[in-house]
Amino acid sequence: MATTTDFRNGLVIRMDNELWMMVEFQHVKPGKGGAFVRTRLKNVKTGRVIDRTFRSGEKVDDVRLEKKKYQFLYGSESEYVFMEMNTYEQITLAKDVVGDASLYIKDGMEVEILSTGTEVLGVEAPIFVELEIVKTDPGIKGDTASGGSKPATLETGAVVQVPLFIQEGEVIRVDTRTSTYVERVK
């Protein structure tokens, strides 16, 4: 059990039989009345965000999460197969468990899998990935780096906005947290 003094960003608590991750919190001591903690919580499975207020000193059920490195082996329309790096044990996860990470992972890539020990909660892709552009509109002579952007489809199927000078076949670095173009690699 944890109390409101243990609150920190990233803390996972069990509330109403669901897991919630603390996105932000603020201790408040009004001039009149008791202190309280204002929090913003994100549901680990659904991604829904709620605001919740706790009285100072209130106890909550905290949950310890494990992060393990796995290698992505292959995927199909509905399932993805990963291998644990030390034991070579393979696990198969449904597409909804993998979530948005499926847009940025390719065969052989290392990922982190979040679990409670018994239940897999999700997959985290690396923050920056290098992917090849398979489809984009051609650039026109005179396009510059600051001239705008166009959509580009990557080898994993993700679509990101890229500068006008980027061509098909080039490899770019993408920030998976924001789905944005960072730089051209090759």
- Total structural domains within the chain: 3
Domain that holds residue 109: 66-124
**124, 139, 171 - which closes a domain:** 124
Q: Give pLDDT, residue 177.
A: 84
* pLDDT tens per residue across span 3-26: 888 898 888 899 888 889 888 999
Of residues 50, 41, 56, 57, the one with CA closest to residue 1: 57
CA 162 to CA 132: how far, in whole Å? 12
Whether 108 and 143 map to the same domain: the answer is no
Residues 8 and 35 in one domain: yes
Q: What tokens does 160 get?
A: 């990101």
C-alpha 9/C-alpha 37 separation (Å) is: 13
pLDDT score at 141: 61
How wide is the angle at C-alpha 133 spanned by C-alphas 131 and 137, nearest 5°? Answer: 155
Instruction: Report pLDDT for 77.
Output: 84
Name residues of the chain where pLDDT drops below 50: none
pTM of the model: 0.70
Please check whether residues 135 and 178 belong to one and the same domain: yes
pLDDT at 146: 58
Task: Read off the CATH number of the domain in which 109 is found.
Answer: 2.40.50.140
Query: How is residue 97 annotated by DSSP?
Result: H
- Percentage of the residues of the chain whose pLDDT score is greater than 70: 95
